[in-house]
Amino acid sequence: MPLTDLTLAECLALRPDLDEPADLDTFWDRTLAQARAAGGSARFTPVDTGLTQVTTYDVTVPGFAGEPVRGWLHLPAGTDGPLGCVVEFLGYGRGRGLAHEQVLWANAGYAHFIMDTRGQGWSTAGGDTPDTADVGGTVPGFLTRGAEDPHEHYYRRVFTDAVLFTEAARAHPAVDPARTVVTGISQGGGITLAVAALVPGLAGAMPDVPFLCDIRRGALIAGAPPYTEIAEYLRLHRDRAGTVFSTLSYFDAALLASRATAPALFSIAMMDEVCPPSTSFAAYHRYGGDKDLRVYEFNGHEGGGGHHRREQLAWLRERIGPRRPAVPADSTDPVDPLTPVDPTGPLTPADPAGSTALSALHDPQLA
């Protein structure tokens, strides 16, 4: 797949001028206050998955308007809390799937919460959380649901669900709330950035090839859905572009990212036609906390895959995992493959797949 967007050098220099609503903070303060006022308690029901090293619970959390949001909680079997915690949000079209499917983070020793995304679950995994809002007059998908009123937009409900789900995770007795990290791929990456902006005190955020960043540019240049839903809607409603992009600005993760303070590990793929790299870089450059970046120069929307999971495991271990004992200098033990590379070292390709490790803490052009 060829490059279809800006070059890496151009993306590193990119500082887009985005239109931010004057009442963005007030909008979210009021939205979340209303959601919390609905009350209700999270429920955790044990599930027999047949796995012996992971204990799983079926999770239900009151979300937007008190509506139930489903999910999973995976815990390392036989461990006592509080544990470091990973809260995961899912990609576009994916539901929470089956209870035994996603257990990487629990196997690494963390509490792992997975949030079902309301109304989704038709692509790679089924879902169990309906979206109750009216969808009349919209393009198939989610970007144009409520496209002409931010109070009615689909992602107002999803971002609210995600904030409340994260708060429920941090309140669980098995979880150390100060060692909680949020993560997600694509749509999940955009939700991750929103939650990092709206939930104080997180230990980290790991957005991968994030969606919902610089949404207007995405609608103009993306070669594949979901951003193309906006163009399709405006192809018919030619006179509504101003209203639609004004609405979507309340859910633009590149705008919200400036409010985040937790350290972050981003990944961006330079041949991504779904979430063009320039849109993800808009969020990266505006991100308010310390940040690291892994660029996958020869990958599309699949991003870094297993190579990037390895990067995340090392990054998490340094921040919320148990500390490893020091290895004596004369030890003959093999080197731990998860030992992170010194970030002050030279910027070199990290693996044959074309990943480049970049650190905003040590490279002035990324600051």
Q: Is the pLDDT of residue 363 over 80?
A: no
Q: What is the pLDDT of residue 4?
A: 83
Spatial separation of the C-alpha atoms in residues 237 and 264, rounded to whole Å: 38
Across the chain, the runs of DSSP E, i.e. the strands, are: 43-47, 54-62, 68-76, 83-89, 111-115, 175-185, 204-208, 264-269, 291-296, 349-351, 355-359
301 is a catalytic site residue: yes
Active-site residue (options: 153, 172, 285, 301): 301
Q: What is the pLDDT of residue 93?
A: 85
48 is a catalytic site residue: no
Q: Is residue 92 annotated as involved in ligand binding?
A: yes
**8-14+43-322+336-366 CATH pick, 2.40.50.180, 3.60.150.10, 3.40.50.1820, 3.40.190.10:** 3.40.50.1820
Average pLDDT for the chain: 89
Phi first, then psi: give them for residue 121, nearest 5 degrees.
Answer: 125, 40
Q: Is the pLDDT of residue 129 over 70?
A: yes
Active-site residue (options: 186, 278, 280, 359): 186
Spans of all domains in the chain: 8-14+43-322+336-366
Residues near 114 by Cβ (< 8 Å), separated by ≥ 6? 71, 72, 73, 74, 88, 90, 96, 102
308 is a catalytic site residue: no
- Whether the Cβ atoms of residue 264 and residue 293 lie closer than 8 Å to each other: no
Spatial separation of the C-alpha atoms in residues 189 and 266, rounded to whole Å: 9
Q: Is the pLDDT of residue 120 over 60?
A: yes
85-104 mean pLDDT? 93
Spatial separation of the C-alpha atoms in residues 226 and 301, rounded to whole Å: 12
Active-site residue (options: 5, 131, 272, 292): 272
Q: Is the pLDDT of residue 119 over 90?
A: no
Mean pLDDT is lowest, of 199-203, 239-243, 287-291, 361-365, for 361-365
Q: What is the pLDDT of residue 332?
A: 55
- Whether the Cβ atoms of residue 218 and residue 186 lie closer than 8 Å to each other: no
- Whether the Cβ atoms of residue 85 and residue 175 lie closer than 8 Å to each other: yes
Q: What is the pLDDT of residue 357?
A: 60
| Cis peptide upstream of residue 82 (ω within 30 degrees of 0) | yes
Q: Is the pLDDT of residue 278 over 80?
A: yes
pLDDT digits (tens, 9 = 90+) for 307-361: 999 999 999 999 998 644 445 555 555 544 444 433 333 333 344 344 556 643 3
